[in-house]
């Protein structure tokens, strides 16, 4: 499904458009700037799906990329939970269903995702309540069937990782992974004042609850790490690694990675 829009010119005395896009987008997701349109203070002219917007919301802007993704940013004087309740109720009346994730590193309490079906566009709603200010809301619509969060009806491809939830209130900047059957790797970037040691402990507790057994661990400068072994529900043995890194020169930026590799005795 293609999206056709007209770009809004950004005044030359403001920040250059290409720089704004790169500053506002996670490194791993920076789009082709030449084929990205930004709309200041308004929605795109054409939308692939009809989306409700809370009453009295202040539209800050929107962005359309060549990857068939639309991002909308607005402020609203509601709490995060009120925003989520608004979208749960409004979208349910239009045949959208909230979807969850049962494996891998999942988004914390600051976002929810909706689908209309297996091959439908996905809609992700993120809401961050700013202290003594409005709630910042971001809507992401992905109409690319190959990249839509609705393309899979289960999380089997993330086996054998358990469900790992980021700390409450921590902002995440994308999750990426590599899933090869005999090796599964998933990582995410977090914005938090928790150091790497605290994050390693936080995610280790969840691995222990999933019956992973810790073998060793330690701290090397900004990097905290641990190694694990476990048996999955099919009786296969795996080794695991967990890493938490404080990204140099980027205040409060942390990178977390979890990996599982099938034991050599099970490989053909």
**In contact, 186 and 177? CB cutoff 8 Å:** yes
Q: Which residue has the tokens 């099938």?
A: 262
Model pTM?
A: 0.58
**In contact, 253 and 192? CB cutoff 8 Å:** no
How many CB atoms are located within 10 Å of the residue 259 CB? Answer: 19
pLDDT digits (tens, 9 = 90+) for 105-122: 876 667 788 988 777 788
Share of the chain above pLDDT 70, in %: 80
Distance CA 216, CA 226 (A): 5
In this predicted model, which residue has the larger pLDDT, 29 or 230? Answer: 230
Burial tier of 265 (Cβ tally within 10 Å: 0-12, 13-18, 19+): exposed
Q: Which residue has the tokens 């925003």?
A: 83
**In contact, 38 and 20? CB cutoff 8 Å:** yes
Distance CA 24, CA 31 (A): 11
CA distances from 149 to 119, 121, 122, 125, 232 (A): 9, 8, 6, 13, 25
Quote the pLDDT of residue 8.
41
pLDDT digits (tens, 9 = 90+) for 69-114: 888 999 999 988 899 999 999 999 888 988 877 788 876 667 788 9
Distance CA 214, CA 180 (A): 23
């Amino acid at each position: 499904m293609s999206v056709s829009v007209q770009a809004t010119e950004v005044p030359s005395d403001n920040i250059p458009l290409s720089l704004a896009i790169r500053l506002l987008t996670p490194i791993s997701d920076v789009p082709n700037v030449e084929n990205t349109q930004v709309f200041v203070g308004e929605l795109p002219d054409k939308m692939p799906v009809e989306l409700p917007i809370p009453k009295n919301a202040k539209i800050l802007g929107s962005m359309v990329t060549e990857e068939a993704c639309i991002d909308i940013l607005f402020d609203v004087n509601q709490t995060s939970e009120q925003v989520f309740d608004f979208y749960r109720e409004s979208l349910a009346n239009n045949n959208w269903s909230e979807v969850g994730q049962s494996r891998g590193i999942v988004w914390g309490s600051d976002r929810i995702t909706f689908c209309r079906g297996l091959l439908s566009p996905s809609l992700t709603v993120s809401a961050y309540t700013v202290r003594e200010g409005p709630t910042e809301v971001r809507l992401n619509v992905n109409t690319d069937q190959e990249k839509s969060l609705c393309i899979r009806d289960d999380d089997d491809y993330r086996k054998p990782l358990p469900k790992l939830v980021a700390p409450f209130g921590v902002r995440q900047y994308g999750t990426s992974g590599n899933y090869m059957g005999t090796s599964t790797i998933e990582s995410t970037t977090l914005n938090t004042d928790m150091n790497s040691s605290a994050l390693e402990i936080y995610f280790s507790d969840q691995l222990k609850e999933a019956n992973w057994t810790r073998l060793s661990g330690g701290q090397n400068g900004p990097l905290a790490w641990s190694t694990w072994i476990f048996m999955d529900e099919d009786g296969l043995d795996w080794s695991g690694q967990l890493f938490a890194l404080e990204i140099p020169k980027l205040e409060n930026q942390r990178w977390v990675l979890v990996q599982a590799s099938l034991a050599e005795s099970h490989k053909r």
